């Protein structure tokens, strides 16, 4: 039996009231096991980004519970929540959110510095992470000198800075071309193999297809769940119309 | 044209050949324009020989126009074939018209929920996309095979997006009175 890293019960976020009440997230029960990669898919406005923000403590739920690594986190004070965001959760965004005036390695070490690590330890960790995402040679470059795919890999390295129990990604390939998407998918796969727990919201079918579990979301609620693990069928030939 | 498409259109009720043609025209719009008017009758004759449909002619049959006056109906064997066809997953042969007509026919005859047909198809495509994507991720950058795999991935993505459109459309139709 694997450990549950993330668990929500009746998670709800509403905006407005009366006639104009919007249920952005509507009673979501989600359990994510340690080491699992879960993709949440759905059309724009289905509530998947709001869900991610709630889970990551970027936003507060209207109702329901969130448990992260065995600890209830939806009622924490703003200060404790801020610390949790820095140390327990790593975020990857569609628009990368790198600081353009800092070098690549400075971006990656920033969360470790903010969490109170020594500059030396933070730099060592950042250098190791950049090596891991294949960008050791770009440590001293500014983000603006990198391609979109490289920037997203820097953002992933930064998300891992404090060894978070959970990495949350919001449309991580939304701004990337085919080749860069492949790079990011490979990186996620490596994280997955290293045991990292990942929750990715996306409308990119390629991410969805490579996750362990795919959840479809509509109007704030989960409507379908598919487990896609398993071996290959050896039917790639048929897909390229070599056969049949 | 797929024989099963014609069979499935008969599942709702026995029909004349021209009624089937009209339904196909309605379901396919400009996509069906290239379809020869006689094609439906060719298929119907084949289906009759295979014991999948029966015909009823108004007596007395005249030599002229008999094809159009006949009423075609499914036999038990035909019913069975339609049910089978609805659950078949036909990708990667990308016969979009056949899949579309499957949904139209399933809904018209109340034989199956179009949304569950879409769902089955979607899971199958996702499994294939997973396979192709994993193969692509395992290729070194710039390999010839990577380019082919990218083509497969892009096509499957396009198919999945169309299925999403199917899902949206049939969800709306189902919730409409």
State the residue range of the domain holding B12.
1-88
pLDDT of residue A243: 46
Q: What is d(CA B39, CA B10) in angstroms, rounded to the nearest whole number? A: 16
- Among A5-9, A35-39, A89-93, B55-59, name the one with the lowest average pLDDT: B55-59
Bridge partner list, A199: A38, A168
Query: Is pLDDT of A194 > 50?
Result: yes
Establish if B107 belongs to a structural domain: no
Average pLDDT of chain A to the nearest whole number: 90
**Residue B74 in this model has a pLDDT that exceeds 90:** yes
Please state, rounded to an integer, the average pLDDT across all residues of chain B: 84
Judgement on whether residues B117 and B165 belong to the same structural domain of the protein: yes
pLDDT above 90: residue B70 = no
Looking at the fold, whether B13 and B68 belong to one and the same domain comes out as yes
| Whether residue B16 sits in one domain with residue B54 | yes
Which of B53, B88, B123 corresponds to the end of one domain? B88
User: What is the pLDDT, as a whole number, of residue B92?
Assistant: 57
**Is the residue at B62 inside a domain?**
yes
Instruction: Using a CB–CB cutoff of 8 Å, tell me whether B144 touches chain A.
Output: no
* B contact residues 145-164, partner A, Cβ 8 Å cutoff: 148-154, 156-157, 160-161, 164
Q: Which residues in chain B have Cβ-Cβ distances shorter than 8 Å to A213?
A: none
B73 within some domain:
yes
Q: Is a pLDDT exceeding 90 seen at residue A4?
A: yes
User: Which of A173, A182, A202, A212 has the highest number of chain B CBs within 10 A, making it the mutation to test binding with B?
Assistant: A182
Which pLDDT belongs to residue A231?
45
What average pLDDT does range B126-155 have in this prediction? 86
Q: What is the pLDDT of residue B174?
A: 75
Given a contact cutoff of 8 angstroms between Cβ atoms, the answer to whether B91 and B121 are in contact is yes
Asked if residue B40 belongs to a domain, the reply is: yes
Q: How far is B19 from chain A (nearest CA, A)?
A: 34
Q: How many CA atoms lie within 13 A of B80 on its CB side?
A: 5
Do B69 and B135 have their domain in common? no
Interface probe with B: pick from A191, A205, A228, most Cβ of B within 10 Å:
A205
Which of A189, A205, A208 is opposite residue B137, by nearest beta carbon?
A: A189
Weakest-pLDDT range from A178-182, A227-231, B56-60: A227-231
Assess whether B18 and B82 both reside in one domain: yes
pLDDT confidence band for B173 (50 / 70 / 90): confident
With respect to residue B84, please indicate whether it lies within any of the assigned structural domains: yes
Tell me which chain B residues have a C-beta less than 8 angstroms from the C-beta of A186.
Answer: 137
Are residues A185 and B137, on separate chains, in Cβ contact within 8 Å? Answer: yes
pLDDT at residue B2, rounded to an integer = 77
Q: pLDDT of B20-35, one tens digit each?
A: 888 888 888 777 777 7
Q: Domain of B55: which CATH number?
A: 1.10.10.10
In the three-class reduction of DSSP (H, G, I as helix; E, B as strand; rest coil), residue B11 is classed as coil
Per residue in B112-135, pLDDT (tens digit) is: 889 889 988 888 889 889 988 988
Does A209 sit within 8 Å of B152, measured CB to CB? no
Contacts of A12 (CB under 8 A, 6+ apart): A23, A25, A26, A27, A28, A61, A62, A63, A64
Give the pLDDT mean for B62-85. Answer: 81
Does residue B104 belong to any structural domain of this protein? Answer: no
Is the Cβ of B88 closer than 8 Å to some Cβ of chain A? no
Q: Is the model's pLDDT at A125 over the cut of 90?
A: yes
State what percent of residues in chain A have pLDDT above 90: 73
User: What distance in Å separates the CA atoms of residue B165 and residue A11, rounded to the nearest whole number?
Assistant: 28
Q: Are residues B162 and B125 in the same domain?
A: yes
pLDDT tens by residue, A25-63: 999 999 999 999 999 998 888 999 999 999 999 999 999
Question: Three-class SS string for chain A?
Answer: CCCEEEEEEEEEEEECCHHHCEEEEEEEEEEEECCCEEEEECCCCCCHHHHHHHHCCCCCCCEEEEEECCEECCCCCHHHHHHHHHHCEEEEECCCCCCCCCCHHHHHHHHHHHCCCCHHHHHHHHHHHHHHCCCHHHCCCCHHHCCHHHHHHHHHHHHCCCCCCEEEEECCCCCCCHHHHHHHHHHHHHHHHCCCCEEEEECCHHHHHHCCEEEEEECCEEEEEEECCCCCCCCHHHHCCCCC
Q: How many domains does chain B have?
A: 2
**Residue A73: pLDDT band with limits 50, 70, 90:** very high
Q: How confident is the model at residue A89 (pLDDT cuts 50, 70, 90)?
A: very high
What's the pLDDT tens digit per position in A93-124?
A: 988 899 999 999 999 999 999 999 999 999 99
Domain presence at residue B77 = yes
Note whether residue B42 is domain-resident.
Answer: yes
Same-domain pairing of B71 and B12: yes
Are B2 and B84 members of one domain? yes
What share of chain A in percent tops pLDDT 70? 93
- CA of B99 to nearest chain A CA: how many angstroms apart? 17
Torsion of CA B74, B76, B81, B83, to 10 degrees: 90
CB count within 10 Å of CB B145 equals 14
The DSSP 8-state label assigned to residue B128 in this structure reads: H
Would you place residue A244 in the very low, low, confident or very high pLDDT band (cuts 50, 70, 90)? very low
| B2 and B52 belong to one structural domain | yes
How many A/B residue pairs have CB atoms within 8 Å? 65
Q: How confident is the model at residue B12 (pLDDT cuts 50, 70, 90)?
A: confident
B88, B121, B142 - which closes a domain: B88
**Which among A178, A186, A206 has CB closest to B129?**
A206
Whether the CB-CB separation of B102 and B8 falls below 8 Å is answered with yes
Residue where a domain stops, chosen among B24, B53, B88: B88
* Domain shared by B143 and B78, yes or no: no
pLDDT tens, A137-186? 999 999 999 999 999 999 999 999 999 999 999 999 988 888 889 889 99
H-helix or E-strand spanning residue B130:
helix B114-138
Give pLDDT, residue B29: 79
- Full DSSP string of B71-125: EEEE-HHHHHHHHHHHH---TTS--HHHHHHHHHHHHHHTSS-HHHHHHHHHHHH
Q: What is the mean pLDDT of residues A67-86?
A: 91
Residues B117 and B55 placed together within one structural domain of the fold: no
B90-112 pLDDT tens trace: 655 667 888 898 899 888 888 88
Measured distance CA(A158)–CA(A138) in Å, rounded: 14
Whether B175 and B120 map to the same domain: the answer is: yes
Query: Does the CB of B115 have a partner CB in chain A at under 8 Å?
Result: no
The more confidently predicted of residues B1 and B13 is: B13
Residue A55 makes CB contacts below 8 A (sequence gap 6+) with A6, A8, A30, A66, A68, A166, A168, A199
């Amino acid at each position: 039996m694997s450990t549950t890293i993330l668990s929500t019960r009746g998670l709800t976020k509403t905006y407005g009231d009366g006639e104009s009440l919007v249920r952005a997230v509507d009673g979501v029960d989600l359990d994510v096991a340690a080491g699992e990669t879960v993709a949440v898919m759905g059309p724009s406005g289905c509530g998947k980004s709001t869900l991610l923000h709630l889970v990551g403590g970027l936003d507060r739920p209207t109702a329901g519970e969130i448990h992260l690594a065995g600890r209830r986190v939806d009622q924490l004070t703003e200060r404790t929540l801020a610390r949790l965001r820095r140390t327990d959760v790593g975020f990857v965004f569609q628009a990368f959110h790198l600081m353009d005036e800092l070098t690549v390695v400075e971006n990656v070490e920033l969360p470790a510095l903010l969490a109170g690590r020594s500059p030396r330890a933070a730099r060592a960790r950042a250098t190791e992470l950049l090596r891991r995402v294949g960008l050791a040679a770009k440590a001293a470059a500014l983000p603006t000198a990198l391609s979109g795919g490289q920037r997203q890999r820097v953002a992933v390295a930064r998300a891992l800075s404090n060894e978070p129990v959970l990495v949350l990604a919001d449309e991580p390939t939304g701004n990337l071309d085919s080749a860069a998407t492949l790079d990011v998918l490979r990186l996620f796969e490596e994280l997955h193999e290293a045991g990292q727990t990942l929750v990715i919201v996306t409308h990119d079918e390629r991410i969805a297809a490579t996750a362990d579990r795919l959840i479809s979301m509509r109007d704030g609620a989960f409507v379908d769940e598919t487990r896609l693990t398993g071996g290959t069928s050896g039917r790639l030939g048929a897909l390229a119309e070599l056969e049949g | 044209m797929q024989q099963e498409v014609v069979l499935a259109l008969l599942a709702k009720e026995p029909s004349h050949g021209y009624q089937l043609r009209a339904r196909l025209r309605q379901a396919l719009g400009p996509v069906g324009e290239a379809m020869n008017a006689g094609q439906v009758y060719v298929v119907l004759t084949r289906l009759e020989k295979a014991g999948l449909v029966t015909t009823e002619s108004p007596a007395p049959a005249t030599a002229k126009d008999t094809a159009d006056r006949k009423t075609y109906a499914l036999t038990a064997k035909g019913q069975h074939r339609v049910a089978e066809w609805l659950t078949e997953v036909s990708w990667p042969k990308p016969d979009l018209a056949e899949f579309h007509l499957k949904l139209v026919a399933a809904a018209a005859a109340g034989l199956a929920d179009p949304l569950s047909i879409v769902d089955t198809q979607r899971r199958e495509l996702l499994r294939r996309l997973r396979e192709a994507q994993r193969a692509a991720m395992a290729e070194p950058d710039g390999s010839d095979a990577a380019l082919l795999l990218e083509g497969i991935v892009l096509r499957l993505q396009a198919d999945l997006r169309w299925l999403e459109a199917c899902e949206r459309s049939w969800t709306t139709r189902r919730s409409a009175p």
